[in-house]
Structure 1
Amino acid sequence: MAGDVRRPLMYLLAVAVPMLTSAAPAARSSQPEGPVRVMATPGDVFAGYKTEFLLSTGANQQVVVGRLNVPAGAFTTVDNSGYARTIRCVLDSQGDWDRSIVTFDGVTPNMPIVLTVNHVFPAPGTVTLSCGFDFQSGRTLLQFIKIDAIAAAGWSNTTLT
């Protein structure tokens, strides 16, 4: 199919872990999905992953790639990603969000991008990663997708000088 790119193109990994194109999938936990507490304690880490996702959208369309349920608390949510062609991804923590628009040349196998959101959940909530192709329809395989939410005692979010 014309315009069909099928190779590993998205990597969402924990902070301070180097991106490896040959990374093995994370071990599956025997714990139930979703938060196990009503309120997070600073230092708690909640993580979710998906081994692969076939991203197929029309021009300027977004689809949900993954969701992570978290308990109430203050969180820094991180993803580290690589893309093909012009793709827009949004990491949304119920109103606080970060987005990235990347044009990929089709030659370089991966282009990392980091999305980070600070948000206080007054009650249990959901962090959502959505992606789609800009300007034209497209189809590509995303692999090793991960969203990490790290509970924090507090943080500040200020303009850079």
Structure 2
Amino acid sequence: MRRLLFCLLLICACAPPDAGRYQAIIGALLIDGTGAAPTPISVVVTDGARIRAAGHQAHTPIPAGARKIRAEGKCLLPALVDRATRRPLAVSLEGHATVVEAIAAATRAHATPIAPGEPADLMLVAGNPLEDPESLKKPERLMLGGNWVDVNPGAGQ
């Protein structure tokens, strides 16, 4: 009887195999780094270190058990940062007709676009870089390899 109770307790304590594996960033303006038009009210789903899905919230399913990160009023784009210092790279608007084109050029040179199968390297900024390009210099959150990391390592030391 004890053995049966122990087995039942163990089974109940186990999480489903995919629990905690997925993260969904919900509601941000998505600039995917390809030069495509931004996607308002987006969902980006990561699966460990890779992007599983990205698109408009109405068309991008969120896996059951995914950790949900609310990002309304923010912009999600490729991690345009120096990986060693985690400081934002300069995104030059010079020679580009739009901010989206400038971000696409910087992505081609220094990052990967936000697309299924690509590394989960993402940057979340407050506001809208289409209206305020300076917001690209102040990432609020940074994901590298599917893990959220400190945006300002060494700050205050």
TM-score, normalised to structure 2, is 0.26
Q: Which structure is richer in relative contact order (CA contacts within 8 A, separation 6 or more)?
A: 1
Name whichever structure is richer in helix by fraction.
2
Name whichever structure is richer in strand by fraction.
1
Rg (Cα) greater in structure: 2
TM-score, normalised to structure 1, is 0.26
